[in-house]
Every structure is written in structure tokens, then in C-alpha cells.
């Protein structure tokens, strides 16, 4: 399922020295009370995502801004270096999990919705590895509707047959009331035409309290009666009481915080006996400019951890050991969140949407046809 979305970067791990690559799902185990106490001193995090949904068509990009906060101070977090955005369907299947580097808790990104993705109601999740220790309640959850007009099967967005006549509900406003007591956006006018320059001014009514990081979204008003995405004002009370620290105990598995950079981990084992290979030197390298090279030794359980802090462009990472042909490396992948408790909105297609769907689909095909040309031409 994860191949259905076009991702910005794919990972390829190449093990040299005749190593066999296996998958490792385990995380770090809390060893003793002292270690647990130190881990609980590290604040938990929470995430807000401002995105271009809540309704998106295949052939479009979902764009987003990622805000990661310290739950104890409610300020931008400096704990995690990497954030994650995931797309999950109603069956609890991950269609995408995208990594993004965080800079003082902030990031932005996008992903393309491929035409293989069926129409349906989806969930947009956002989190850090550290947040996963407190489960789904800690994670940002946003509703997302995807429409794929190129597939015959639209059952994901059609009302189930009951034999009763269903009356079409009138279109209702989905505008949200915003609190403008701190910062206000004043528009030159309320409606703009195609390719018309949008002018606005920002007013800060609270001096230092109004200073911060903001994102502004400007897009065509949707003809679809879909519930609006959660905004920042709604996010504050909704996630006010999330956990302030981890709730794990000694002996529990734990997702390690990516404080020093993007975490790569795994285990070295003896290829003949299957026993952990302690004290083995593992070298990780990422070719390119800049070039990354790091050498670590495995612990008593054969485990190794490598943090990559610097930005890199090459999608290939190479791992090798210190000339020991008997060592096999098993690369780790963090366990996915249990999303069985998710609830999804029930947006349904209506005949009244037919013309709007056709118009937007034609626009998307034209847009994608000339996408690469637009990268080299700018309108001033």
C-alpha cells in the first residue's frame, strides 16, 4: 500500500561484506529505575499541522506546515530533530509515512496524491518518534477526503444502500470564526479573480505576545460541503491535556527521541549461530556532497544506533562491518502506531458535486501536463 503515494525520498539500505538484510521491529528497552527517571525528565511533544485540505483530488499535492511543541512549556520544541506525517485509510492501513527534518520545531512539506489512491475518507497523522510512546491520543489527527474521479468504484464516498429515499441536504457554510484579538489579517477585498494579486496587511495587537511563526493559506473557496480542518484556535483546547511525559515503565520498549538527528538502528548477529555480535564496529556512509561517515560499536545485545544530523541528498546509505564475514546486519524499522482506535468523518458524494468534480479534474490534468515547464518560468 505504501507505494500508492509518490514520495519525495525513498530509502535504500545496502549492506556490504556479504551481509544479509533482515527487518528488526524492536525498540530500546528501559533497563532500570534510574534510566526511567531520566527519560521522564524529558518533556513530551505535541504537533499541529496546517494543511491545504480537508478535501484533495488525486493528481494534486497536499501541502502542509508542521509545528512541534513542548507539552510542558507550550513553546516550540527543540527535542526532536525529525517529524513524521502519515496518511491512513479506514482499514487502518498506512498509505504513506513521510519524514521531515525539524528546525526548532518547525517544518513544511508536501506529498503527491497518486491516481492509484481510491476515493474515501482518510486520516492525516503527524507526530515524532518520542510522541509514539504515549499512543494515539498524543498524535495530531486530521480528517482528509480524497476524490479519485478516474476510478469507477466510488464506494468509499457513497452512501450505503438502505432502500430509503435520501434527500439532498442544502450546501452549508463551512467558514470558521477566528480569534483576531492578537493578530489580524486585513484583506483588500473579499473576492479575487484568477491570477489576481492578493494584497493584505497584518496587524499585531499584542506587541511581543503577537510575535511568532504563522502560515497563511489562500485558495479557491470549495463548492464541497465538507467540514473544515482543525485550526490553531481549536487545536489549543483539543490537545491541552495530552501527556506531559512518557508513561512507560522499566522493562517496557520505548521509541527513542531523535534528539541528535535522524535515527538509524539495527542489530549485528553471528550469521552461523544467530547470537548477538557484541563490540562489532559498524560503519555507515551516505555518498554525495555533503558526505556522511559514522562509525559505532554494537552494545552487549548487538544493537547499534547512528544519528544523522546533517542534511543529505543521496537516497542510498551503505552499512558495513570491520571485515567480519560472519556478521549479519538486521536493520531496524520503528513499529507503526496502533491506529485501530481512529474514527473517520463520513463525507459523501452528491450529484450536485458532479460539475465541480469535472471542472477540477480537467484543471488538474492541465496543471500536471505543464508542471515541469512552470518550474522554469516565473510571472513577475
In the predicted structure, residue 126 carries a pLDDT above the cut 70 = yes
Residue (of 306, 256, 24) closest to 132 by Cα position:
256
Q: Which of 75-79, 173-177, 183-187 has the lowest mean pLDDT?
A: 173-177
pLDDT attached to residue 180: 59
Report whether pLDDT(250) > 60. yes
What is the pLDDT, as a whole number, of residue 192?
A: 86
71, part of any domain: no
pLDDT of residue 69: 98
Position 294 in a domain: yes
Mean pLDDT for the chain?
84
What is the percentage of the chain residues whose pLDDT exceeds 70?
84
Q: Which helix (H) or strand (E) holds 360?
A: helix 354-369
Q: Which residue segment(s) compose the domain that 21 sits in?
A: 2-30+256-332
pLDDT tens digits along 28-48: 889 899 999 999 999 999 999
d(CA 141, CA 35): 31
**63: in domain:** no
User: What percent of the chain shows pLDDT beyond 90?
Assistant: 56
Mean pLDDT of 119-136: 97
Q: Give CA–CA dist 9/311, Å, rounded.
A: 13
Work out the average pLDDT over 149-160: 88
The CA distance from 127 to 335, in Å, is 13
Long-range CB contacts (< 8 A, 24+ apart) of 201-205?
205/181
- Decide if 63 contacts 110 (C-beta within 8 A): yes
Residues pairing with 123 in the sheet: 88, 143
How many residues are listed for the chain in this entry?
A: 380
Q: How far is CA 44 from the centre of its chain?
A: 18
Residue 240 above 70 pLDDT? yes
Question: In the structure, how many helices (H) and strands (E) does the chain have?
Answer: 4, 20
DSSP E strand stretches across the chain: 12-15, 22-24, 28-29, 45-51, 55-57, 61-70, 82-88, 94-101, 106-112, 120-127, 140-147, 183-187, 200-204, 253-254, 262-270, 281-286, 292-297, 303-308, 316-321, 327-332
Q: What is the pLDDT of residues 162-182, one digit of tens each?
A: 444 443 444 444 455 555 567
Within-domain flag for 207: no
pLDDT at residue 20, as a whole number: 32
Residue 367 in domain: no
Does 299 reside within a domain? yes
Asked if 337 and 139 count as a contact pair (C-beta separation under 8 A), the reply is yes
CATH number assigned to the domain comprising residue 325: 2.60.40
Is 152 among the domain residues?
Answer: no
Banded pLDDT at 219 (limits 50, 70, 90): confident
The answer to whether residue 317 sits within a structural domain is: yes
With CA atoms as reference, report the closest residue to 102 among 316, 257, 255, 232: 257
pTM flag (> 0.85) = no
**pLDDT per residue as tens digits for the range 273-286:** 989 999 999 999 99
C-beta separation of 284 from 332 below 8 A: no
* Domain count along the chain: 1
Q: Mind giving me the DSSP string for 135-168?
A: -GGGSEEEEEEEE-TTSS--GGGSPPP-SS--PP
Amino acid at each position: 500500500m505504501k507505494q500508492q503515494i509518490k514520495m519525495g525520498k525513498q530509502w535504500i539500505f545496502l549492506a556490504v561484506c556479504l551481509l544479509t538484510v533482515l527487518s528488526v521491529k524492536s525498540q530500546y528497552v528501559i533497563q532500570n529505575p534510574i534510566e526511567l527517571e531520566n527519560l521522564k525528565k524529558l518533556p513530551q511533544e505535541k504537533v499541529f499541522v496546517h494543511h491545504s485540505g480537508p478535501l484533495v483530488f488525486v493528481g494534486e499535492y497536499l501541502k502542509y506546515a508542521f509545528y512541534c511543541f513542548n507539552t510542558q512549556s507550550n513553546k516550540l520544541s527543540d527535542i526532536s530533530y525529525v517529524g513524521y506525517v502519515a496518511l491512513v485509510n479506514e482499514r487502518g492501513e498506512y498509505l504513506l509515512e513521510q519524514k521531515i527534518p525539524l528546525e526548532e520545531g518547525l517544518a513544511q512539506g508536501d506529498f503527491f496524491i497518486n491516481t492509484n489512491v481510491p476515493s474515501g475518507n482518510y486520516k492525516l497523522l503527524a507526530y515524532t518518534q518520542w510522541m509514539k510512546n504515549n499512543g494515539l491520543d498524543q498524535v495530531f489527527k486530521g480528517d482528509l477526503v480524497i476524490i479519485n474521479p478516474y476510478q469507477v468504484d466510488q464506494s468509499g464516498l457513497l452512501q450505503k444502500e438502505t432502500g430509503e429515499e435520501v434527500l439532498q441536504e442544502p450546501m452549508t457554510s463551512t467558514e470558521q470564526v477566528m480569534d483576531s484579538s492578537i493578530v489580524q489579517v486585513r484583506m483588500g477585498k473579499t473576492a479575487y479573480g484568477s491570477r489576481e494579486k492578493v494584497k493584505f496587511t497584518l496587524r499585531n495587537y499584542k506587541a511581543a505576545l503577537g510575535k511568532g511563526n504563522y502560515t497563511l493559506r489562500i485558495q479557491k473557496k470549495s463548492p464541497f460541503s465538507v467540514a473544515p480542518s482543525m485550526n490553531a484556535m481549536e487545536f489549543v483546547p483539543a490537545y491541552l491535556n495530552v501527556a506531559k511525559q512518557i508513561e512507560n515503565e522499566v522493562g517496557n520498549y520505548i521509541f527513542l527521541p531523535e534528539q541528535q538527528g535522524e535515527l538509524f538502528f539495527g542489530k549485528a548477529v553471528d550469521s552461523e549461530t544467530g547470537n548477538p555480535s557484541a563490540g562489532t564496529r559498524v560503519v555507515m556512509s551516505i555518498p554525495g556532497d555533503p558526505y556522511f561517515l559514522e562509525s559505532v560499536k554494537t552494545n552487549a545485545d548487538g544493537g547499534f544506533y547512528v544519528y544523522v544530523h546533517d542534511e543529505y541528498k543521496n537516497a542510498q546509505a551503505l552499512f558495513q562491518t570491520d571485515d567480519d564475514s560472519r556478521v549479519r546486519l538486521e536493520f531496524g524499522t520503528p513499529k507503526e502506531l496502533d491506529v485501530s482506535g481512529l474514527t473517520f468523518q463520513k463525507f459523501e458524494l452528491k450529484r450536485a458535486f458532479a460539475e465541480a468534480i469535472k471542472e477540477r479534474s480537467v484543471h488538474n490534468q492541465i496543471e500536471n501536463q505543464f508542471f515541469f515547464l512552470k518550474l522554469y518560468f516565473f510571472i513577475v
